[in-house]
Structure 1
Amino acid sequence: MLAAYRGMWADWVAVAETSDYQNPRLTAHVSGEALSLIYKAVYANKRDGLVTRGTPTFSPWVSALTPTDDPNRATVVDCADDGGWLHYRLDGRLEDQIPGGRHHVQALAVETSGTWKIDVLVIDKVGSC
């Protein structure tokens, strides 16, 4: 489940570098509402002529497993820092001077047919952790 969470972020970071919202890589570690959230964010950047550069940092942990005897659902909690992951215009200029920061993140990982994917993703505002 943590591998799915870290994979989701790695995929999002890679795809955001070009704002290629149709990249099939987005579905490797994500499904459901989480996929929709990421797709919409990358699409909005493409529409607005933006790309994202840099690397956010993470420190996730599993806060719950259900059912406890043979889990197929896991809650992942993180305090992700996107201060080094910023939007740029296609000409290379920084989009704005608003810094990123630390966000409380909660994700629901679901295991289906032996594969864990992040299905729900909630990212709180900057300064929430």
Structure 2
Amino acid sequence: MPADPQAAERARALAAYRAMWVEQMKAYGKASEQGAELTRYASLDALATFRLDLAHMRRSGVVATGSLGHTPKVTALDLHASTPTATVTDCLDLAHWQEKHLKTGQAIALPSDQPRRYQATARVERWDGGRWMVTQYTPHGDRTC
């Protein structure tokens, strides 16, 4: 009996989302996309969002250290669309995340109104060849989890 194709596609979409975060953390750790493979997992609006973040970090002289906690789940899947899509809903956890000044290494406190755990959503699309790509990423800092 063949495996559940929807479960397999959910797993592939989720794997692409997780891999995108691995590459994004490499980039945030040095405020540069160089050496990170963001374009392998993110494109379109999502990639533009991350590149804007990196540009802001460079201008501010800030890098991110530590780790960002995640609990992503595929909350919607449409394999019948002309471009199959998945929606990933994640709970980001900032407990072990730290921004620092690049030159001094001094920690930068998060704003007092910044929730330490908040939701984010991503649109992940299956492109030609079966490859899943994160095409939209939206943090929802006003939605705690």
Structure 1 length normalisation: TM-score?
0.89
Query: Which segments of 5 or more consecutive residues in structure 1 lack a partner in the other structure?
Result: none
Aligned partner of 1:84 among 96, 102, 123? 96
Corresponding residue to 1:56 among 48, 65, 68:
68
Segment of structure 1 superposing worse, 66-75 or 51-60: 66-75
User: Could you say if the C-alpha distance between residues 3 and 94 of structure 1 is closer, same or farther in structure 2, counting changes exceeding 3 Å?
Assistant: same
Q: Secondary structure at the match of 2:144?
A: coil
| Paired-residue identity, % | 27
Aligned position for 2:109: 96
Q: Is the 8 A contact 1:101 1:126 kept in 2?
A: no
Higher mean displacement: 100-109 or 60-69: 60-69
Whether 1:111 aligns to 2:126 is: yes
Alpha-carbon RMSD across the aligned residues, in angstroms, is: 2.1
The 1-side partners of 2:108 and 2:81 are apart by 48
> Which consecutive unaligned segments of at least 5 residues does structure 2 have?
1-12
SS in 1 for 2:107: coil
Asked if 1:67 is matched to 2:79, the reply is yes
Q: Which moved more, 1:18-27 or 1:72-81?
A: 18-27
The 10-residue stretch of structure 1 (60-69 or 27-36) with the greater mean CA deviation from structure 2: 60-69
Q: 1:93–1:41: structure 2 CA closer, same or farther, 3 Å change rule?
A: same
In the alignment, structure 1 residue 34 sits paired with structure 2 residue 46? yes
Give 1:43 shift: 1.2
Deviation at 1:85, TM superposition (A): 1.5
1:34 and 1:94 mapped to 2: Cα distance?
Answer: 27
Does 1:16 find its partner at 2:28?
A: yes
Q: Taking structure 2 as the reference length, what is the TM-score of the superposition?
A: 0.80
Supply the distance in 2 between the matched residues of 1:66 and 1:17 (Cα, whole angstroms): 34
Q: How many residues align?
A: 129
Equivalent position amino acid for 1:94 in 2:
A
Report the alpha carbon displacement of residue 60 of structure 1 after superposing the two structures with TM. 0.9
Tell me the distance in 2 between the aligned counterparts of 1:32 and 1:11.
16
Higher Cα radius of gyration: 2
**Does the C-alpha gap of structure 1 residues 68 and 22 become closer, same or farther in structure 2, counting only changes over 3 Å?**
same
